[in-house]
Amino acid sequence: MSESPEIIAYQGVPGAYSHLACTRVHPELKAFACESFAQAMFMVERGEARLAMIPLENSTAGRVEEIYRLMPKTQLHIIAEHFEPVNHCLLGVPGTVIEALKQVTSHPQALAQCDTNSRALGLTPVAALDTAGSAADLAKSGNPALGAIASSLAAELYNLNILKENFQDVEGNTTRFLILARESRMPQLEEGLTYMTSIMFTVRNIPAALFKALGGFATNSVNMLKLESYMASDTMQVSSFHLDVEAHPHEPGMQLALQELHFFAKEVRVMGTYPAHPFRYSQHKIEA
């Protein structure tokens, strides 16, 4: 099998926050923009890209539900996670100043996250399909009275000026990305390191199936950090689950928990084991 090209695929247009995440984590790979999450993921599946950078959840907007439906349709593995702070920038065409702006354009979510600051400047919001696309359109228009809310990378790519950084109303907006590959990259279990394992499974049609399936994690002291449910079929009779636990499959407690999960659930699939991102440690410090 020939080696995949040095490409990391993402959904969006150049300058999107997914693009920014690609450049932060894998600057050695060429970032390739895709129209959809499915296109990005299946590029990796077909060997046309080495990795895919896929957003799973955002601290403000919640989960990206489409990803949970797409993952079972692929054979991809999660090899890493990345937490990217969303720092919105107010952009303008070269030569303009904040005082000259009358309108601001961006994705509705970004507009909402910057609403207070936009109102303080008297800017009228104009909805666009995405943040980076609004920056590209602004560059084409050359309109000095129009601003855009997008990433610093979008400013660089489309030759726009950053009029104000950290333009969001509230700090802490963060997106968690999964990095997907065709082959599993199970890290060796090393003492002192924290690992994440992501699992997908479907419960059996018996009373208290979910309670019993997850019971092994509790009794074996395996910390469950995330549990998401979604309908895996059109019948709306069977629920599937995405589970993130803080453990490595080679740990004895995790092995016992997985045995119990297999007994009470079906279609169990370990999506990947990977080192916990340092962002998780910073959150623990804040909470402590």
62 and 110 inside one domain: no
The pLDDT tens digits for 8-54 are 999 999 999 999 999 999 999 999 999 999 999 999 999 999 999 99
State the CATH number of the domain containing residue 227. 3.30.70.260
Both 158 and 177 in one domain: the answer is no
Sheet of strand 146-150, all strands in order from the earlier edge strand to the far edge? 124-127, 103-106, 146-150, 89-92, 161-164
Whether 148 is covered by a domain: the verdict is yes
- Note whether residue 20 is domain-resident: yes
Instruction: Look up residue 71 and give its DSSP letter.
Output: G
pLDDT, tens digit, 9 for 90 and up, residues 47-100: 999 999 999 998 887 888 899 989 999 999 999 999 999 999 999 999 999 999
- With beta carbons less than 8 A apart as the criterion, state whether 74 and 42 touch: yes
How does residue 233 score in pLDDT terms, banded at 50, 70 and 90? low
Say what the pLDDT of residue 288 is: 39
- pTM exceeds 0.85: yes
Average pLDDT over residues 174-180: 96
Identity of the amino acid at 207 = P
Q: Is the confidence at residue 229, as pLDDT, over 50?
A: yes
The C-alpha atoms of residue 148 and residue 128 are separated, in whole angstroms, by 10
pLDDT at 172: 87
The residue among 153, 181, 209 that closes a domain is 181
Q: Do 140 and 251 share a domain, yes or no?
A: no
3-state secondary structure of 91: strand
* pLDDT value of position 253: 97
**pLDDT at res. 206:** 79
285, pLDDT greater than 60? no
pLDDT for 203 equals 86
Of the chain, the percentage scoring pLDDT greater than 70 comes to 95
Q: pLDDT tens digits, residue range 234-255?
A: 555 667 899 999 999 999 999 9
**Segment of 24-28, 172-176, 281-285 carrying the highest mean pLDDT:** 24-28
User: How far is it, in rounded angstroms, from Cα 156 to Cα 202?
Assistant: 45
Report how far Cα 241 is from the mean position of its chain's Cα atoms: 18
Give 168: exposed, middle or buried? Use CB within 10 Å, 0-12, 13-18, 19+.
buried
Residue count of the chain, please give it: 288
Same domain for 177 and 38, yes or no, is: yes
Chain segment 186-222, per-residue pLDDT in tens: 999 999 999 999 999 998 877 888 999 999 999 999 9
Overall number of domains in the chain: 3
Give residue 286's pLDDT band: very low, low, confident or very high (50, 70, 90): very low
Statement to judge: residues 199 and 280 lie in one domain: yes
Q: Give domain status of residue 67, yes or no.
A: yes
- Do the domain assignments include residue 189? no
Q: What is the CATH number of the domain that holds 26?
A: 3.40.190.10
Whether residue 225 sits in one domain with residue 158: no
Looking at the fold, whether 47 and 177 belong to one and the same domain comes out as: yes
Identify the domain boundary among 120, 146, 181.
181
Whether residue 11 is found in the same domain as residue 79: yes
In the chain, the percentage of residues whose pLDDT exceeds 90 is 81
Which residue, 181, 215, 235, sits at the end of a domain? 181
* Residues sharing a CB contact under 8 Å with residue 244, sequence separation 6 or more, in sequence order: 196, 197, 198, 199, 224, 225, 226, 227
Query: Is residue 53 located within the same domain as residue 177?
Result: yes
Residue 113 half-sphere exposure toward CB, CA atoms < 13 A: 25
Mean pLDDT, rounded, of the chain: 92
- Per-residue pLDDT, averaged over 155-169, amounts to 97
Task: Note down the domain range covering 177.
Answer: 7-85+173-181
Instruction: Compute CA distances 64 → 71, 79, 136, 278, 282, whole Å.
Output: 12, 19, 24, 22, 24
Residue range 115-154, pLDDT digits in tens? 999 999 999 999 999 999 999 999 999 999 999 999 999 9
Same domain, 81 and 93: no
The Cα–Cα gap between 107 and 131 comes to 5
Q: Note whether residue 106 is domain-resident.
A: yes
The backbone torsions φ and ψ at residue 55, rounded to the nearest 5 degrees and listed phi first, read -75, 135
Instruction: Say whether both 68 and 177 belong to one domain.
Output: yes
The answer as to whether 72 is a domain residue is yes
Residues classed as catalytic: 175, 177
For the cut 60, the answer to whether the pLDDT of residue 283 exceeds it is: no
- 188 falls within a domain: no
Residue 2 forms part of a structural domain: no
- 177 in the same domain as 59: yes
Sequence-ordered list of residues with C-beta below 8 angstroms from that of 208, at least 6 positions apart, any chain:
none
